[in-house]
Structure 1
Amino acid sequence: MRDYSLNPPSLRDDPDALGHRRVFAVIGPSTNTIVQPDMELFRPRGVTNAYRDIYVEDPAALSDAAFQDGAAKISAGMAEALRTAVTCRPDYLVLGVSAISFVGGRDGCDAFIRDVNAITGLDISVGSIATAQALQAMGARRIAVLSPYYETANANVKRFMGDYGLEVVRDIPLRCTSWTNIARVSEATLIEALKALDGPDIDAIAQVGTNLSMVRLAAEAEKWLGKPVVAINTATYWHALRANGFLDQFDGFGRLMSEF
């Protein structure tokens, strides 16, 4: 295996002009406005993010059942999005939608990754695994979870984290009323939720839901909570960088990106 620790080279003899180190295809729902700008924050020189979306309609209202139905539609549109993504000849895939990656626990996610590989021939970073591995790297065992989801989706998150040896002590589902409204949750609401989740009985807080804007707030919250706060978009791109041999670190986005 090549040593990519200092300056990972191109995977090709004919490298992309701007993505000469890597071209990442970043895949997210068409209603998502947060993933693309978030992941640009962490992009090293010589790496490009080719954003490709999964078509999904924005519902007028969400409920627990409607949320699950919408997630199923996103999952159903994944194959077509992958076929579109590979036309730019990316080196690696980054999944910018999280709810579907928690379904079925660890085994369900592993099966999803196998399906992606069968369609594309490429490896992929997904938010569920990335967040779990980030929490493990930071020494967390007992955690709290903040999501824009409803109860059933949060139950999927709890099961998945349990499969990775992480106990979810408590969680808050924000029950957002549409896919686009996830991006409109106020910072004040998020701060209140983080404080409600905190306690001496947890080691860290994880935020899931890729359209929830938490990259900067999670980093700030670590300062006043005194423990790791892992935003899923940060974790997913961190995982993609490390999986490709990039050791680039970034200040201002929390301990995960600056220390691990």
Structure 2
Amino acid sequence: MTVAGFLYPGHSAEDDYPELSGRLGSDIDLRVVHTLMREDAHRVDALLDVGGADVLAEGARELRELGADSVVWACTSGSFVFGWDGAREQVAGVREVAGTPASSTSFAFVNAARHLGLRRVAVAASYPDDVTSRFAEFLGEGGVEVVAIASRDIITAAEVGHLTGSEVLEFVSRNDDASAEGILVPDTALHTAGILDDLEDRVGKPVLTANQVSVWEGLRLAGVEGPYEGLGSLFRVDAPAGTVVLDD
């Protein structure tokens, strides 16, 4: 049994994980530990607190006790807001406490884009503009060019979690760009597990979403290889097209 562990802030779309788990088979266990969210806000100061070392260390210790083979900090904005170097330090802290390979959703997006050979992408984010811009900057640091960017300007994760599948499909397809090789949809508070193939069918290109890439990253770090069906192009491509950026 492979156990992939996920540090998940608060409660919004954590039910994506059992839904994804159901498509991966009985030999894989996705363990979610909820971390402290003192304030639910897509605001830089609040996000820096959400991703604080003390908060993540507490959850990492719990996942270590649960026997996790890998740990992912499953929060996009709570990782990229620290910048590239700060996010690396954040992951290093989780790795040290958990005693396992570790990563975060932000690095998972870069690794997943490289895996699929995506060099130019569009971003369709639930965040306010200033937070979305930080995500685009982070992707640029990882060698992924953002050719189009859209923000839905939602402040709280709780509100994001209430968006319906049809609303997500419409928002993502409306903000595609002809020059983009794929579309990235950050925010682990967004429910997307049930519409991954629908998203790609709608836009005709790979779509990467936050909980999807988090699970893929956790399995990759634990040494689990696909392919798996029903989880988008990311899980169907079983050979990486590029080198991952964070694997130590």
**TM-score of the alignment, normalized to the shorter chain, above 0.5:** yes
Higher gyration radius (CA): 1
Name the counterpart of 1:23.
Answer: 3
Name the counterpart of 2:44.
Answer: 68
Name the counterpart of 1:88.
Answer: 66
In 1, Cα distance between the equivalents of 2:2 and 2:148?
A: 38
Deviation at 1:245, TM superposition (A): 2.1
In 1, Cα distance between the equivalents of 2:137 and 2:77?
A: 13
Deviation at 1:144, TM superposition (A): 0.8
Deviation at 1:58, TM superposition (A): 5.9
> What letter is aligned with 1:52?
V
TM-score by length of 1: 0.81
In 2, Cα distance between the equivalents of 1:133 and 1:202?
A: 17
Name the counterpart of 2:246.
Answer: none
> What letter is aligned with 2:12?
N
In 1, Cα distance between the equivalents of 2:21 and 2:45?
A: 30
Alignment of 1:1-260 (within 5 A): 21-34=1-14, 35-57=16-38, 59=40, 62=41, 67-76=43-52, 77-260=55-238
Deviation at 1:211, TM superposition (A): 1.2
In 2, Cα distance between the equivalents of 1:36 and 1:224?
A: 23
The number of equivalent residue pairs is: 235
Judged with a 3 Å threshold, the aligned counterparts in structure 2 of structure 1 residues 44 and 107 are, in CA distance, closer, same or farther, namely farther
- Helix, strand or coil: the match of 1:184? coil
Which digits, 9 at most, give the CA deviation of each residue in 1:96-146, with x for residues without a partner? 222122124332221111111222322113211111121122221111112
- Helix, strand or coil: the match of 1:90? coil
In 1, Cα distance between the equivalents of 2:134 and 2:10?
A: 23
In 1, Cα distance between the equivalents of 2:87 and 2:36?
A: 21
Deviation at 1:38, TM superposition (A): 4.3
Which digits, 9 at most, give the CA deviation of each residue in 1:37-85, with x for residues without a partner? 34424544323222211122565xx5x6xx2232122123222222333
In 2, Cα distance between the equivalents of 1:192 and 1:23?
A: 34
Stretches of structure 1 that go unaligned for 5 or more consecutive residues are 1-20
Judged with a 3 Å threshold, the aligned counterparts in structure 2 of structure 1 residues 120 and 251 are, in CA distance, closer, same or farther, namely closer
Q: Could you say what the CA RMSD is over the residues aligned between the two structures, in angstroms?
A: 2.1
In 1, Cα distance between the equivalents of 2:12 and 2:38?
A: 11
In 1, Cα distance between the equivalents of 2:19 and 2:86?
A: 27
- Helix, strand or coil: the match of 1:227? coil
In 1, Cα distance between the equivalents of 2:59 and 2:223?
A: 26
> What letter is aligned with 1:51?
V
Identity within the alignment, %: 22
C-alpha contact 1:203 1:227 (8 A) present in aligned 2: yes
In 2, Cα distance between the equivalents of 1:57 and 1:38?
A: 27
- Helix, strand or coil: the match of 2:146? strand
In 2, Cα distance between the equivalents of 1:54 and 1:36?
A: 15
C-alpha contact 1:207 1:214 (8 A) present in aligned 2: no
Stretches of structure 2 that go unaligned for 5 or more consecutive residues are 239-248
